[in-house]
Amino acid sequence: MADVGETRCTVKDEPEIIIIGAGISGLAAADYLSRNGFYNFKILESSSRTGGRIWSINVEGLNGTCKAELGANYIHGIERNPIFQLAEENNLLALLNKNKTLSKRVVFVTEAGEQVPSKTVKEVDWCYGLLMQQCEAFFQCGMQTPIENDSVGGFLDREMERRLAKHDGDDQYIRRLIFKQRLAVEAMISGADNMYEVSLGELGSYEELPGVHYAIPPGFEEVLEVLKRSIPKENFYLNHAVKNIDWQNGVQGSDGTHKSVCVECRNGKKFYADHVICTVPLGYLKSNSRELFHPVLPEEKIEAIQRLEFGTVDKIILEFSEAIPLESDMRKLALLWDNSSIDGQDLSSTWYKHIFSFDAIHENVLLGWISGKAAQYMESLTDDEVIDACMKVLEQFLKKDHIPRPRKIVRTKWHSNEHTKGSYTFIPVGGKVQDIETLAEPLTPPNADKPAVLFAGEACHPSFYSSTHGALLTGQQEAERLVKLYTEHHSDPEPDDDSDDGGLAF
């Protein structure tokens, strides 16, 4: 933590600020405020930890403890990515190529346990990549989609079928399976149940930053530690779930002065402030926005919140006592399920057919990916039920009679987490990027000259929604908005008595 006593600078009329949520957005806002001499803030966080959807845990590798991520894994892109910059400046990427024992081979395997030739995979991938660029172009070039309210899944299906028609028999069948696996991965990247939910016209609103995707070897949470250095410890209030934000009527603060906002927590504590920066996830807002704000949010904001979507992406981490059952040079096992006949079937007998890959994250640790409704169903099962299903899948795809059970399972339950209610934001069919802008607009009470509630978090960034860098930037942006409100007019040059005003009298 910073020695705030020494660095503190005086801000005239320093406001009291409450930040709700200690994810990367809330922490970035707090860091920005501190670095600009604003220390009169509190961070109210419902859970007992900071980090929100950034959550690094220890797993026991064969040669010691290593990291696994329950939430964000990758820095998406390098150029203009503030997280990459932060990680690089603080030496968090230094270990990247050290002790690299896992190679890069990705293997696509059918339900019969047959590996698909990499040439076929590359050909489908190439075609798929071009089609995705076409999808993004509708937004980027302002073009009409071929069908009104079209989905990415619908467009890709039609275009892919035209291309698959050039192939026949087993070749066509395998190519279709690879394409469907790609769609499942895309749904995970988008955070949707499937790509038929995702708006074709708005897909290109998400801006991909150039460069590769970096993992952070010491754990993604280390980025948060960097932000936390400037924030005084006493400003954190963990286990303080906010129940209500009273923002329009004006209240008398504990010191007798007028305050714009009163924030009441579920533990009964009340806090008064001039401004609130609210960073709770969109999933939480979708379920609670009517009760959370008093008076209720303006109708257009509520509608925007309801139109945007917040899907579920979960991870199943299996820690084995010995080396994982993959060939030693495999990094990923992509599962080519033929799910054409299970649509609409009860998830209790089919959920595991939506695990679309297993990644080797350490020599003895596998990570399974699942998203959408199947992930939500998985969250309702016991650890043993999930392990049983994973072992069945691995034995089938790897053509092995018996694979020793893992000694430990850790899995995420992002949908069941009552303060997240899912994983990240996407724009569904019927939604628009303007909904994100509407959500992000600050609330200013009638007759007030400054906003009472400001909104930040990944769901508030119009081109980086769903990402850690989007979350960080919105936190900084809203903190900057407040800092400017209290500093800009103080830095106006003092009138110079001796100056020649050219005869103008005011």
Ligand X SMILES: Cc1cc2nc3c(=O)[nH]c(=O)nc-3n(C[C@H](O)[C@H](O)[C@H](O)COP(=O)(O)OP(=O)(O)OC[C@H]3O[C@@H](n4cnc5c(N)ncnc54)[C@H](O)[C@@H]3O)c2cc1C
Q: Which residues bind ligand X (CB under 6 A)?
A: 20-26, 44-47, 52-54, 71-74, 76, 241-242, 279-281, 284, 313, 315, 412, 414, 419-420, 423-424, 457-458, 466-468, 471
Tell me the residue ranges of DSSP E strands in 23-63: 41-44, 56-61
Nearer to ligand X, 102 or 313 (CB): 313
- Least distance to ligand X, CB of residue 370, Å: 10
Considering the complex, state which of residue 58 and residue 252 has its C-beta at the smaller distance from ligand X. Answer: 58
The residue (of 51 and 451) whose beta carbon lies closer to ligand X is: 51
Nearer residue to ligand X within complex by CB, 71 or 325 = 71
Whose CA is closest to 278, among 24, 14, 26, 16? 26
- Count the Cβ atoms, other than its own, within 10 Å of residue 33: 29
Question: Of all helices (H) and strands (E), which one includes residue 239?
Answer: none
Rank residues 160 and 386 by Cβ distance to ligand X and give the closer one: 386
What's the closest the beta carbon of residue 298 comes to ligand X, in angstroms? 20
Minimum distance of ligand X from residue 22's CB (angstroms): 5
The tokens of 13 are what? 């009329």
| Among the listed residues 428, 397, 372, 46, the one whose alpha carbon sits nearest the alpha carbon of residue 202 | 428
What contacts 30, CB < 8 A, 6 or more positions away? 19, 41, 43, 227, 230, 231, 235, 475, 479
Q: Which two tokens stand for residue 58?
A: 């220890």
Distance of closest approach, residue 475 Cβ to ligand X, in angstroms:
7
CA 241, distance to chain mean position in Å, is 20
> What is the C-alpha to C-alpha distance for residues 78 and 247, in angstroms, rounded to an integer?
39
Smaller CB separation from ligand X, 11 or 241: 241
Distance of alpha carbon 290 from the chain centroid? 23
Task: Write the burial class of residue 90 (CB in 10 Å: 0-12 exposed, 13-18 middle, 19+ buried).
Answer: middle
Q: How far is the CB of 209 from ligand X (least distance, A)?
A: 10
DSSP state of 494: P
Q: State the minimum distance, in angstroms, from the CB of residue 193 to ligand X.
A: 15
Instruction: Give the shortest CB-261-to-ligand X separation in angstroms.
Output: 14
> Which residue lies nearer to ligand X by CB, 155 or 424?
424
How many angstroms separate the CA atoms of 454 and 470, rounded?
A: 16
User: Which CB, 367 or 389, lies closer to ligand X?
Assistant: 367
Q: Which is nearer to ligand X, 259 or 315 (CB)?
A: 315
Q: How far is the CB of 107 from ligand X (least distance, A)?
A: 22
Q: Cα separations (Å) of 397 from 108, 125, 265, 319?
A: 10, 21, 49, 19
Rounded to a whole number of angstroms, the minimum distance from the CB of residue 402 to ligand X is 31
Q: Tell me the pairing of strands 17-20 and 275-278.
A: parallel
